[in-house]
């Protein structure tokens, strides 16, 4: 697939201003994943065969507390721009990708870029098994599995959800986890 075709595919999910739910860098920076919801689907941009992975956070931006302690609505990162290109260096071809998710910027050179999406509606149909009733709200985050990560196999994921049990105080929530299988 050409860089221009990948750019169109990435843009087809209307990522602009979407809150990023997770960024993962695994296997000594060989894989980088960016996940967000576009309102209709949980979308993951997966970069594999990475040779350059630069994470540059704005130094003057005060995070206020560790990001791992933040709830999804408190995470300050939202996708502003994604630019896909290609480059040949020393006879080796790479995709290049610059991601602006202010206050974090990513610069990635990789061999492959995958765009994966799971319809949120299909996740909602399973909400009864998650204990999410019609009068409750939930935030869903997907953690993709790797063979050495929480015992998950490729194509499996943990579906993390936060089920608000008190609509008057939405900060009171009950965390949960559910194993799901995905077909890519």
Q: How far apart are CA 101 and CA 38, in angstroms?
A: 15
Q: Tell me: the pLDDT tens digits for 47-89?
A: 999 999 999 999 999 988 998 898 888 899 999 999 999 999 9
Position 156 scores a pLDDT of: 55
Position 14 scores a pLDDT of: 87
The segments of the chain whose pLDDT lies below 50 read 122-141, 147, 160-184
Assign 28 to helix, strand or coil.
coil
Position 153 scores a pLDDT of: 56
Neighbours of 138 (CB within 10 A): 18
Residue 176: closest CA among 132, 115, 123: 132
Q: How far apart are CA 151 and CA 156, in angstroms?
A: 10
Position 61 scores a pLDDT of: 93
Q: How far apart are CA 180 and CA 159, in angstroms?
A: 7
Position 125 scores a pLDDT of: 44
Position 72 scores a pLDDT of: 84
Position 159 scores a pLDDT of: 53
């Amino acid at each position: 697939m050409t860089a221009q075709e990948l750019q169109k595919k990435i843009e087809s999910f209307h990522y602009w201003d979407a809150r990023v739910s997770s960024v993962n860098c695994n296997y000594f920076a060989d894989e980088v994943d960016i996940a967000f919801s576009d309102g209709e689907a949980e979308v993951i941009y997966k970069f594999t065969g990475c040779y350059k992975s630069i994470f540059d956070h704005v130094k003057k931006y005060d995070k206020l507390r560790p990001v791992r302690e933040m709830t999804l609505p408190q995470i300050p990162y939202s996708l502003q721009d994604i630019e896909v290109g290609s480059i040949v260096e020393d006879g080796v071809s790479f995709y290049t990708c610059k991601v602006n998710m202010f206050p974090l910027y990513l610069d990635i050179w990789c061999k492959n870029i995958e765009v994966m999406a799971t319809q949120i509606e299909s996740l909602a149909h399973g909400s009864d098994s998650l204990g999410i009733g019609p009068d409750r709200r939930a935030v869903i985050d997907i953690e993709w599995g790797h063979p050495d990560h929480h015992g998950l196999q490729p194509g499996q994921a943990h579906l993390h959800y936060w089920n608000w049990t008190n609509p008057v105080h939405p900060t009171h929530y009950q965390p949960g986890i559910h194993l799901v299988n995905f077909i890519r």
